[in-house]
Amino acid sequence: MRKLLRVAAVLVVFALVLSGCGGGGGGSGDSGDVTQGMDRKIVMGYSQIGAESEWRTACTNSVQAAAKEWNIDLRFSDAQQQQQNQLQAIRTFIQQKVDIIAFTPVVETGWEAILKECLDAGIPTICVDRSIEGSDRASSNPSDMSDPDNWFTAFIGSNMEDEGNRAAAWMMANVASIKPGKSVYNIAELQGTVGSSAMTGRFKGFRDALGIPAAQALGTSSDGKYSIILSQTGDFTRAQGKQVMEAFLKSNPNDIDVLFAHNDDMAIGAIQAVEEAGKVPSKDIIIIGVDAVKGAFEAMVAGTMNASIECNPLLGPQVMETAVKILNGQTVEKWVLSNESDYDQSNAAEAYPTRQY
């Protein structure tokens, strides 16, 4: 019996050593303990804006899932829409000596000092989704530190001006068939978070396509057919989108032909206000959003929303791949552009079942 116990004990120790749990294990030779494409496990700090919309939640889910997939230790911070919280989180990441920092700037201004602190600490940064003031996501002279594009290593995200352009293009191609016989179409606009690159880009892109100066909130297109008569921020949320649309309908009960909302969440809130005012959304008032989130597909399939311009939140894989390239010393594009399409009631039902967000 004693002999049997001795043999069993040897076998147990042997098994433990093989599995790497025999003390002193963890990491050496255990393939699960290194980041894909690296010889060690890297630590990333990520400062996310908050959870204001379906889009933001999808973006967060994508980043967190991709960090798991790449075996990256992700230190995630939710700033609850406050830039001060973002600056504090990034300073903490610097103190923790993380390998790389990703951040989504809630507004475009106020990033020079913190990004230079990252540079001084030798920590590369990736700007995710929204961009910073003065950045055109191209760097002609990498040593020119007056160029904001040299304060961070790479930008991953959409072209917001293009999204505004595409919203105007869809509107000009479709309004006459939905509301025929009008010489002028009056537009109400729900702006996103004031000062965010998503808001400034869509605001400018929409006006550029209509020939309205980007500095003007209200104005009439160069061909005289489209007039922006109302424009106010709904801060990218359903609740505020509804509130502002209620106010629009109170002040202009019968003037609005088109709503352009800088994101689907505000459009969906506005649809509730349109219905409560006794009007038919997507017929009396044409509803155009941006993001192409599930809520927009449900509304387009239900016939209460006309179109949504896609803005891809599934940025996680590109963030992780870019981080590994940077830490491996590879050169990366200054702008890793997302791929996007546009959806309306002609293609929403077909696309909806396979949507990932």
**Site residues (vs ligand GZL, CB under 6 A):** 52-53, 55-56, 129-130, 157-158, 198, 236, 263, 265, 290-291, 311
Name the phi and psi angles at 344, rounded to 5: -150, -170
Q: Which is nearer to ligand GZL, 31 or 339 (CB)?
A: 339
Q: Report the 10 Å Cβ neighbour count for 282.
A: 22
**Among 130, 92, 129, which Cα is nearest to 109's?**
130
Q: Classify the C-alpha dihedral 286-292-297-301 as positive or negative.
A: positive
Provide the minimum distance between the beta carbon of 201 and ligand GZL in the complex, in angstroms, as a whole number. 9
The nearest distance, CB 291 to ligand GZL, in angstroms, is 5
Of 130 and 204, which CB lies nearer to ligand GZL in the complex structure? 130
Nearer to ligand GZL, 81 or 221 (CB): 81
113 is written with which tokens? 């000092």
Residue with Cβ nearer ligand GZL (99 or 161): 161
Query: Which helix or strand (DSSP H or E) is residue 189 part of?
Result: strand 185-191
Q: Nearest CA to 185 among 259, 273, 271?
A: 259
Backbone angles phi, psi at 15, to 5 degrees: -65, -40
Distances from the Cα of 335 to the Cα of 129, 131, 278, 318, 338, angstroms? 11, 10, 45, 11, 9
Smallest distance from ligand GZL to CB 313, Å: 7
Q: Considering the complex, what minimum distance in angstroms separates the CB of residue 312 from ligand GZL?
A: 8
* Nearest residue (CB) to ligand GZL, 86 versus 186: 86
**Amino acid in position 268:** I
Smallest separation, CB 83 to ligand GZL (Å): 14
**Residue pair 171/226 in contact by the 8 Å Cβ criterion:** yes
Q: Smallest distance, Å, CB 348 to ligand GZL? A: 18
Closer by beta carbon to ligand GZL, 130 or else 137: 130
Q: CB 203 → ligand GZL: shortest distance, Å?
A: 12
DSSP string, 296-342: HHHHHHHTS--EEEE-----HHHHHHHHHHHHTT----SEEEPP--E
Helix or strand or coil: residue 306? coil
Q: Which is nearer to ligand GZL, 227 or 334 (CB)?
A: 334
